[in-house]
Amino acid sequence: MRGSTLDPTTTLSRRGFLAGTTGLVVAITADGALAAPGTAAATVNGWVRIGPDGGVTLHSNAQEMGQGAMSGVAQILAEELCLDWTAVRVEQAPLLPAQDNANGGRWTGGSASIRTQWTSLRTAGAACREMLVTAGARHLGVAAGDCRAEDGRVVHKDGRAVPYAAVAALAATLPIPANPTPLARDAWRLIGRGVTRKDIAAKVDGSATYAIDISLPGLLNAAIRQSPVFGGTLAAVDPAPALAVKGVRQVIPIRGLAYRVKEGRVKDGATETEVRLPDAVAVVATTWWAAKKGLDALAPAWNGADRDTLDGDAIHGLLNRDLDLEGEVKLMRGDDPTAVRAAHERGMAAAVRHVAADYATPYLAHAYMEPLSAVAHVRDGDSEIWTGSQFTTRAQAHVAALTGQDPARVTAHILYSGGSFGRKAVPDYIVLAAHLSRAVKAPVKLVYDREEDLAQGRYRAATAARMEAGLDARGLPTAIRARIAGNRDNGYFIMVRQGQADQPDHAPAYFLDNGLTTARRRDLPVPVGAWRAPGSNFAAFYFESFVDELALAAGQDPLAYRRRLLESNPRARRVLETAAARSGWGTALPPGHGRGVALWNSFGSIAAQVVEVALDKGRLAVTRVTCAFDCGTAVNPDSVRAQGEGSILMALSATLAEEVAIDRGAVASRNFDRYPILKLAQAPAIDITILDSPDAPVGGAGEPMVPPLPAALANAIVAAGGPRVRQLPLSRQGLTVA
């Protein structure tokens, strides 16, 4: 038996359901409450639609960019509704407040689609199920307690059944339970199973819709070149060469484009900020190829000579010098900086040995499959945008600010995205499409070519770190300090004290006393933003590489050393030991081979990885990556495993050779010939074990398997007899990749 029952005498709650004439619809407000008829939220569409023909459509508020979250959200609802997954349709939820994500707005990021909505989605599904069971019982003339939900039907204990479609309208009129009861774990049939994602078929047969697929009456196409020099301005451009290209309609110089916009997390209140976009030249034409040819024919002159001395090596030099300066102390809530510093100094003074090392990581581009693209149609009084943005309500707010329209007058159509990893959370390209549409008074499709996409990123920040530790006579740390420098205030981590009740996210998994983290931010003209597993993607490299250095300084096996540090964190220790056992840690390897290990905590999940390499005269082959992963409960293990494989390969690619090359104030690595991506032949075997921790909160899966890889690989190189790598990418260290 599946499904709980509802006493039909339960009194009406003001939380609940939106009744529709064609079926039953459920809605959830931004705070996770159920929206009831008669409240403001009752006017919105809901999460679940049951039609009179028996068809069930589940709405998902997760933007689908390849990670599978759109299906994951629906899978939770389908479980609670006791539905046959193969018979369910999944659609993108409309852009309405009742289906906002945690903290308000429509956004997908931070590995949050499942972990922040786990409870509210199960509650909505359970409430709907209980309503349907009650309605079905009335239809059959029996007690609700004698009925259950099963495969889209209400089934009585004597075997009689009625489909949801026959009772959906009645269910919509019924009182709802004040506290609907989600299914017990032992009743799950979908959660924890690798069901087929609903987006896959459309991507295989080509029917999935991306911004580049949008076709509208009168649609024009645009190509763009923004200032190649960070902070540069457009001096002059002669439009004649582009206008001579067949199909070109207009050449549009863009200078000083700026607007003020209010945005922010709902719970914190919106704040108004000024947004300035780089100067640019755009060509609008009947086809994108004509626009591209017209753009290539132009020779715009840019001002930006004052930036010509800026290059990657100079930036790293500045950051390295910042490590010698005192930074801001990063604290846990309630900590006193004076007390934290004093405890750290006492711990260092008690040490019998001190170890220190400097590390550095470069700027990284997102380098997704689908370059930036958006369609906009700005009209008098209202606008429409078609986008694969991660933050759709942000895009809506920015276009409204640009056009002076009310955000409610900007209709945003949420499309698939061919990758993002944080870049498409920034709506600059959508705003530019709207600007061009307004200028030509027609709908415009703006598509960046690969060179422009890589040259106009919001890059993973370059950072440097100095790690310092004092060790006692057993080789264990008496104190650790991390000094972090970067042009963005992220990537720092707060070391957790022994006895701390909760472990913060994006932090080492160890509980260590006398930790001190300081950070310095340097304002540089290079635009930076979120890159998959923000902060943790390089913080883990620093810390876990240093843990290996401490183990070797203490003369101990790196795995055994970590096990000692994890004595007070059994959950993390289980993850570490699982990865080690699966990798064959401790078994003999051929000469020139080595294994390295790393562990990190992020997005509510724990990931441990063992990387195996072969090294021969500076030629490196990564042969195997073994990963153990604990996200509490994996809704779809197949999707989690696919996410992990993608995360590992992306992190490996970045570690081996990726680096945004900056030369004379501009990005020089403008295509894949200078920004090399991992090739299929270089991909290692990947083994991922998913661990279940049913008592732990549900964690994220899209990003937590990125952070351990760089350190595990660097540690493996040392184990194989190679050099200690403290600066990425590895190609900077004279290593070539097989």
pLDDT in tens, 293-313: 999 999 999 998 666 678 989
What pLDDT shows up at residue 54?
78
Q: Are 323 and 485 in contact (CB under 8 A)?
A: yes
Q: What is the pLDDT of residue 175?
A: 77
φ, ψ dihedrals at 431, nearest 5°: -60, -40
Q: Over the stretch 499-538, which tens digit does the pLDDT of each residue have?
A: 776 667 889 999 999 999 999 999 899 999 999 999 999 9
Question: What percent of the chain is modeled with pLDDT above 70?
Answer: 91
Instruction: For Cα atoms 567, 568, 569, give the angle at the middle one, nearest 5 degrees.
Output: 95
Distance CA(487)–CA(222), nearest Å, equals 32
Beta carbons within 8 Å of 88's beta carbon, 6+ residues apart: 56, 57, 58, 74, 78, 198
Most confident residue range from 27-36, 520-529, 584-593: 584-593
Model pLDDT, residue 738: 82
> What is the reported pLDDT for 270?
67
Taking residues 245-249, what's their average pLDDT?
98
Class of the CATH-defined domain 211-303+372-447:
alpha beta
Q: Give pLDDT, residue 35.
A: 41
pLDDT digits (tens, 9 = 90+) for 365-380: 999 999 999 999 999 9
Query: What is the DSSP annotation of 210-233?
Result: -GGG---TT-EEEEEEE-SBTT-E
Residues 466-472 have a mean pLDDT of 98
| pTM for this model (two decimals) | 0.92
Q: What is the pLDDT of residues 666-711, one digit of tens each?
A: 999 999 999 999 999 999 999 999 999 999 999 999 999 999 999 9
Mean pLDDT of the chain: 90
> Tokens in use for 336?
């006193």
Q: Residue 375's pLDDT is what?
A: 98
Q: Would the pLDDT of 627 be above 80? A: yes
* Confidence at residue 383, expressed as pLDDT on a 0 to 100 scale: 97
- Where does the pLDDT of residue 170 fall: very low under 50, low under 70, confident under 90, or very high at 90 and above? confident
Q: Is the pLDDT of residue 402 over 70?
A: yes
Q: Compute the average pLDDT of residues 487-502.
A: 76
What is the pLDDT confidence band of residue 18, given thresholds at 50, 70 and 90?
very low
Q: Is the pLDDT of residue 20 over 50?
A: no
In percent, how much of the chain has pLDDT > 90?
76
Residues forming CATH 3.30.365.10 domain(s) in the chain: 17-188, 211-303+372-447, 315-363+459-737
Q: How confident is the model at residue 128 (pLDDT cuts 50, 70, 90)?
A: confident
pLDDT for position 14: 26
What is 17-188's CATH topology? Aldehyde Oxidoreductase; domain 4 (3.30.365)
**DSSP 8-state assignment for residue 365:** -
In this prediction, residue 649 carries a pLDDT of: 98
CA distance 547 to 247: 60
Q: 315-363+459-737 in CATH: which number?
A: 3.30.365.10
State yes or no: pLDDT of 192 exceeds 60. yes
Q: Using CA atoms, how far apart are residues 537 and 674, in angstroms rounded to an integer?
A: 22
Q: What is the mean pLDDT of residues 454-469?
A: 97
298 near 283, Cβ under 8 Å?
yes
Residue range 55-112, pLDDT digits in tens: 888 888 888 999 998 999 999 999 999 999 998 999 888 887 777 877 788 888 999 8
Say how far apart CA 328 and CA 294 lie, in whole Å: 50
Residue of 499, 497, 510, 469 whose CA lies nearest to 600: 510
Angle at 276 between CA 275 and CA 278, to 5 degrees: 145
- What pairs with residue 360 in β-bridges? 464, 727
pLDDT score recorded for residue 21? 33
Q: For residue range 319-377, what is the model confidence (pLDDT) as tens digits?
A: 999 999 999 999 887 889 999 999 999 999 999 999 999 999 999 999 999 999 999 99
Provide Rg for the chain, Cα atoms: 28
Alpha helices in 141-287 (DSSP H): 164-171, 200-205, 240-243
Q: What is the mean pLDDT of residues 490-503?
A: 76
